[in-house]
Structure 1
Amino acid sequence: MKYHLYLLCVFTLPIASQDIIKTTLKENKELFADAFVSTNNFDTTFYILENVLFKNSVDTKGIDIGYSNFQLGAITSVNTFNPLKINIFYKDFNTALILDNRLAEMFKIDFSTLPEYKNISHISTGSDNTLWIFNENTQQLELFDYKTNTTRAKTLPIQSPVLDVKSNYNYCWVLTKTHLYKYDYFGNLMIKTKNDAFESIAIDNEDVILKKGNTLSYLKKNTESILPISLPNLLINQFSVANQTLYLYAAETLYKYQLKIN
């Protein structure tokens, strides 16, 4: 009996070890912010303080540069996936702005003044001169060209309330209360996964990090298994991920963890 129990343990442990994503703390540093946005591979950090978007990077020689537009109200979201075309969204005024790498304005899109009025709740970066936008009037995700003010692609209506939208140049992920959707550049639905109470997401290439309360989970590209990420007990305010490096903002501290992906 003991022999059989020993064999069971031997063959079970390697399998169980694949059921959690381990992490290694690389560093942590103070960050005084109302909200952390992201840190990229070049250690450029974006954050929001007193409704101003700040950028801290090596090329600014330790001096944080900022962008503000108080007449548009509170900043709703910032997407820095393309550091040369950063988008910043002000939901109260239904307006998005495209900033360059020095946080100077390049384009302004007032969705209320378009020939076809769009009531936008979420935006994210697309390729070329496009944004992924969620139009609450039609309940559709659209790939919007902000230079020509035209829609290149749109999805079928999404019935469940949208919680988060993230993208890269080829795909867009929409987290709703009931499901996580992945769409291609043409608006075609690629993957639909049930949402188990997750609240927000971050994208690393085509892998997805999902947040639920103060826990994070990992969904690898082309799989359906959502694995928990091993982390200390932290009150996670915001997070981002880049090349399997996870950044967590908690209690005025920015933590940098390396994900151990098998």
Structure 2
Amino acid sequence: MKYTQFLVLLCCFIGTSQTSITASLIDSKPLKVDSIVAIDNFESLYYITNNTFYKKTKNKTLNYANVQLGNITSANTFNPLKINLFYKDFNTAIILDNRLAEIFKIDFNTKQPYKYVSHISTGYDNTIWIFNQDLLQLELYDYKSNTTRATTMPIQSKVLDLKSNYNYCWLLTENYLYTYTYTGSLLAKVKNEGFTAMGIVNETLILNKGNELYFSQPEQEQFKSIALPQLLIKQFLVTNQTLYIYDKETLTQFHLKIE
């Protein structure tokens, strides 16, 4: 029932409502990194700088680098025990543990059948979601058994972003936003009205359009704009009810409140 309400929300994500979402400033601090990846419930900061992946806690900083694979295209810490790094130029993914030790390497160039991958995201168990650029389809790939557990119908428009949790996967393209179950079944297909990036918290979806953010919760009926001060949004993250906005020089932290 909860997710049915969420689907209704997706189908009417632009509209009017008496519900408003406000963001109260908590903190703002200087930060100079190439890209922030995540901030967890323990305030550990995951980021990329100089093509090195870092995990910074209150007590220490860990890092992982693999210069042989070129630049890090993306990183995903949804499962902190199976962090995945993607190196698109070498068509390779690396799985790290919570100490950033390498536990698995996935070289798609050597797999049969061959897979040319453009995006990856975390799945359940030993799986990752991958977008197969040759077949133009989303696949749930089991990297330990080298098998594909689920596939979707071909996607014709350019992929902008891919996000997932253990139950669902969201694929944002230039034309549409797709929502899939963990088995690859299509739940919703909504026209993209200018969104370029996504974030998720449980089943809450946040989308970026220009310097504005929109989000919704399952009990709402449409996406609502988050009331924010004028900020340059280069990246954004959400952990529970905390929103982080990064402009490449300053990391600003807000508390989200629904009124």
- TM-score under structure 2 length normalisation: 0.90
What is residue 226 of structure 2 aligned with on the other side? 229
Question: Are 1:41 and 2:38 counterparts?
Answer: no
Alignment match, 2:138: 141
Kindly report structure 1 stretches of 4+ aligned residues shifted beyond 6 Å. none
The residue that corresponds to 2:11 in the other structure is none
Is structure 2 residue 210 aligned with structure 1 residue 210? no
State the partner residue of 2:105.
Answer: 108
Paired letter, 1:21? I
Identify the structure with bigger relative contact order (alpha carbons < 8 Å, sequence gap 6+): 2
Question: Residue type matched to 2:255 in 1?
Answer: Q
Looking at structure 2, the residues matched to 130 and 154 of structure 1 have their Cα atoms a distance apart, in angstroms, of 13
In the alignment, what sits opposite 2:256?
A: 259
Residue deviations 1:14-42 (CA, integer Å, cap 9, x gap): x8642x42111112222220111111111
Q: CA RMSD in A?
A: 1.4
Distance 2:139 2:217 in 1: 25
Q: Which residue of 1 aligns with 2:192?
A: 195
Equivalent in 76, 81, 84 of residue 79 of structure 1 = 76
Following superposition, the deviation at residue 104 of structure 1 comes to 0.8
Shift of 1:88: 0.4
Indicate the residue corresponding to 1:64 in structure 2. 61
1:70-124 CA distance string (max 9 Å, x none): 1111110000111111000000000000001111101000111101000100000
> Is structure 2 residue 122 aligned with structure 1 residue 125?
yes
Are the equivalent residues in 2 in contact too, given 1:140–1:157 (CA < 8 A)? yes
Which amino acid is the alignment partner of residue 39 of structure 1?
I
User: What amino acid is the match of 1:24?
Assistant: S
- Residue 92 of structure 1 aligns to a residue whose secondary structure is helix
Query: AA paired with 1:98?
Result: I
Q: Distance in 2 between matches of 1:209 and 1:261?
A: 14
Deviations 1:3-60 (A, max 9, x none): xxxxxxxxxxxx8642x421111122222201111111110111111111111113xx
Cα–Cα, structure 1 residues 17 and 162, in superposed 2: closer, same or farther, change >3 Å? same
Aligned residue in 2 for 1:55: 55
Task: From the CA coordinates, give the structure whose radius of gyration is larger.
Answer: 1
Q: Establish whether residue 154 from structure 1 lines up as the match of residue 151 from structure 2.
A: yes
Among 241, 244, 248, the residue aligned to 1:244: 241
Pair 1:222–1:136, CA change in 2 (3 A): farther
Structure 2 unaligned spans of 5+: 1-15
Q: Secondary structure of the residue that 1:133 maps to in structure 2?
A: strand
1:223 shift after superposition: 5.4
Question: What's the CA shift string for 1:104-152, capped at 9, x where partnerless?
Answer: 1010001111010001000000011000000011111110001001000
Structure 2 match to 1:178: 175
| Separation in 2, partners of 1:64, 1:200 | 28
Q: What is the TM-score with the length of structure 1 in the denominator?
A: 0.89
Give the deviation of 1:251 after TM superposition: 4.1
SS of the residue 1:218 aligns to: strand
How many pairs were matched up?
244
SS at match of 1:229: strand
Query: Counterpart of 1:201 in structure 2: which amino acid?
Result: M
Larger deviation, residues 232-241 vs 128-137: 232-241
Cα distance, 1:244 vs. partner? Answer: 2.1
Post-superposition offset of 1:261? 2.6
Alignment identity in percent? 56
SS at match of 2:227: coil
Aligned mate of 1:163, from 150, 160, 184? 160
Structure 2 Cα separation of the partners of residues 16 and 141 of structure 1? 34
Taking the aligned partners of 2:242 and 2:189, their CA distance within structure 1 comes to 26
In the other structure, the counterpart of 1:9 is: none
Alignment partners' CA distance in 2, 1:170 and 1:186: 9
Greater helix share, 1 or 2? 1
